[in-house]
């Protein structure tokens, strides 16, 4: 008879989607102009991530936009680690969290106060959902490296405007951002379009004087402003096809796409280590009929542990 793997050694993923979107993030730039960007298309990954929890469409849209935005920002990482967006607020969505590793493992969840949410009707705005609070953007390079974090107050009508403060103060980049998330015939889809005005130097746009560089940026933003939500969420429209619609006459160069994947990193071993840190009395209080159930907030999967098999902290 095969013996079960001890909890502290069981690193298997729970039964969640093993899903990879090969062309999740597509970088681009305009040759000879101070313009670069990234197009994020989550495709079926959006539906897999967003349907792990049952909530309202308004909350799902907000989380989908946060996931797409986070994937786009993480794709700019120049080191191994992860990038996360976290909102804490006094609104119906008290916690919004999305994170993505440099390898494209994406996950997220929204913590919702159902009673508060019921007070805002069927389709509350992002502003109503988040209320007052702050957004934190964090680059985590691992235990041996210092974390970088930018924090801005929640201001603006939607996540696009709320994020504007981060770009202006932390990244110090002029940025054009579009976010989209909606339920389609194929399920939930989410997308982000991030375009940046590159600072002078490094050989990008240096053959243009400052006025010409500024005009190139204005032209790019006007063209990007014609982008529609339907185009952003259309699985049948390839990334380079969409970018060509916008910039075919502007010296468009499309880079190699990067994959995104269902990225919940929970396991029995991780949660067993958490439980081992609790005092014995707390573990007894958690147990129901001799079983402790811990649910991963990202994938909404419940792990069951026999109370007798968990030795708590003695300190």
β 174-184/187-197 pair status: antiparallel
Q: For the domain 1-16+266-315, what is the CATH code?
A: 3.90.1280.10
Distance CA 52, CA 68 (A): 16
- Give the Cα separation of 204 and 42 in Å (integer): 29
Could you tell me if 169 and 152 are in contact, meaning their C-beta atoms sit under 8 angstroms apart? yes
Tell me the pLDDT of the chain (315 aa) as tens digits: 444 554 544 445 566 677 899 999 999 999 999 999 999 999 999 999 999 888 999 999 999 999 999 999 999 877 788 899 999 999 999 999 999 999 999 999 999 999 999 998 888 999 999 999 999 999 887 666 677 888 999 999 999 999 988 887 766 678 999 999 999 999 999 999 999 998 765 555 556 788 999 999 999 999 999 999 999 999 999 999 999 999 999 999 999 999 999 988 777 777 788 888 888 888 888 888 888 887 778 787 777 888 888 876 665
Cα of first residue to Cα of last residue in the chain, in angstroms, is 37
Assigned token pair, 12: 């298997």
- pLDDT score for 3: 47
What pLDDT sits at residue 140? 84
Among residues 21, 22, 27, which one has the least CA distance to residue 194?
Answer: 27
Neighbours of 308 (CB within 10 A): 9
pLDDT at residue 9, rounded to an integer:
43
**Hey, is 193 helix, strand or coil?**
strand
> What residues pair up with 272 in beta bridges, in sequence order?
none
- Between CA 32 and CA 35 the distance in angstroms is 9
pLDDT confidence of residue 191: 98
Domain boundaries, the chain: 1-16+266-315, 20-262
Architecture in CATH of 20-262: 3-Layer(bab) Sandwich (3.55)
């Amino acid at each position: 008879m095969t013996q079960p793997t001890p909890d502290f050694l069981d690193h298997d993923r729970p039964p969640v989607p093993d899903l990879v979107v090969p062309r999740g993030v597509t970088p681009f730039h305009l040759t000879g102009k101070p313009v670069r960007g990234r197009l994020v298309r989550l495709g079926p990954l959006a539906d897999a991530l967003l349907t792990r929890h049952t909530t309202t469409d308004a909350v799902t849209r907000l989380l989908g936009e946060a996931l797409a935005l986070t994937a786009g920002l993480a794709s700019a990482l120049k080191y191994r680690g992860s990038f996360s967006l976290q909102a804490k607020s006094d609104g119906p969505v008290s916690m919004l969290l999305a994170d993505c590793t440099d390898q494209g493992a994406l996950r997220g969840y929204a913590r919702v106060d159902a009673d508060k949410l019921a007070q805002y009707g069927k389709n509350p705005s992002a502003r109503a959902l988040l209320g007052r609070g702050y957004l934190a953007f964090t680059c985590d390079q691992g235990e041996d490296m210092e974390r970088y974090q930018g924090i801005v107050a929640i201001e603006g009508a939607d996540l696009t405007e709320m994020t504007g403060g981060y770009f202006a103060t932390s990244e110090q980049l002029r940025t054009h951002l579009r976010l989209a998330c909606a339920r389609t015939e194929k399920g939930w889809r989410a997308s982000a379009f991030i375009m940046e005005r590159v600072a002078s130097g490094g050989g990008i746009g240096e053959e243009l004087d400052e006025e010409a560089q500024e005009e190139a940026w204005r032209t790019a933003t006007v063209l990007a402003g014609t982008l529609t939500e339907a185009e952003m969420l259309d699985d049948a429209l390839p990334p380079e096809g969409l970018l060509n619609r916008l910039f075919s006459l502007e010296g468009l160069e499309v880079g190699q796409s990067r994959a995104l994947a269902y990225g919940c990193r929970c396991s029995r071993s991780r949660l067993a280590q958490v439980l081992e840190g609790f005092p014995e009395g707390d573990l007894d209080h958690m147990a129901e009929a001799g079983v402790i159930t811990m649910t991963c907030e990202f994938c909404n999967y419940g792990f069951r542990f026999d109370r007798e098999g968990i030795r708590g902290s003695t300190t």
